[in-house]
A and B are shown apart, each in its own frame.
Chain A
Amino acid sequence: DADVTQTPRNRITKTGKRIMLECSQTKGHDRMYWYRQDPGLGLRLIYYSFDVKDINKGEISDGYSVSRQAQAKFSLSLESAIPNQTALYFCATSEGTDTQYFGPGTRLTVL
């Protein structure tokens, strides 16, 4: 079984809808991250969490919110989706400041 899982893997939604992307990990890592990937731009950090009570904004947090429900679960929400949020979203985990391990990604399309 994969160490970092993301659901759903693909999602198509409409402008203005609320959507949640979920990430779970079995690695026992304390830190979790959300990134988005756009063609030609690499990955950019949206939010990261040190533990359940510690959430931090990344480079591009506007229009997104997160929730760390447990050490193993970190969800990303788009309160009112817009077309320029169409992207590939990745969750990652790390133990402290060590290497980050990535999930398989969620492809989100906002029409």
Chain B
Amino acid sequence: AQSVTQPDIHITVSEGASLELRCNYSYGATPYLFWYVQSPGQGLQLLLKYFSGDTLVQGIKGFEAEFKRSQSSFNLRKPSVHWSDAAEYFCAVGAFSGSARQLTFGSGTQLTVLP
């Protein structure tokens, strides 16, 4: 069965600093990988996804993620964080079960941005 680990429960960065959120996955085949963001009181918004091809994926709001098969990782990065980026971030792996792709989520990383 697939699994996702987000090792950092909580990260604090200063506004303008760079950001990297870690995600490690376990899945026996080529994974479909996602990053979602959840702002307070909001649903989950898709930031970016990786299905195949270029291992560096660009997303919305200036985020990018790099798929590294050798490390089973899909880390999320942003070169300069804005106060509005404060939220909870979830990494997910999509694995096929029959004809359905089921998402397995990590436990999330809460991001705090200091002024």
Binary per-residue interface labels of chain B (5-40) against chain A in the complex, 1 for a CB within 8 Å, 0 otherwise = 000010000000000000000000000001010000
Contact of A48 among B9, B46, B100 (CB under 8 A): B100
Contact of B108 among A42, A92, A97 (CB under 8 A): A42
Give Cα A105–Cα B41 distance, bound, in whole angstroms: 8
Number of contacts between A and B (CB, 8 Å)?
Answer: 49
Q: Number of B interface residues, CB 8 Å?
A: 23
Residue of A nearest to B96 (CB): A97
CB <8 Å contact, B102 and A58: yes
Give Cα A101–Cα B92 distance, bound, in whole angstroms: 13
Binary per-residue interface labels of chain A (25-59) against chain B in the complex, 1 for a CB within 8 Å, 0 otherwise = 00000010000000011111100101000001010
Contacts from A to B (Cβ < 8 Å):
4, 31, 40-45, 48, 50, 56, 58, 90, 92, 94, 97, 99-105
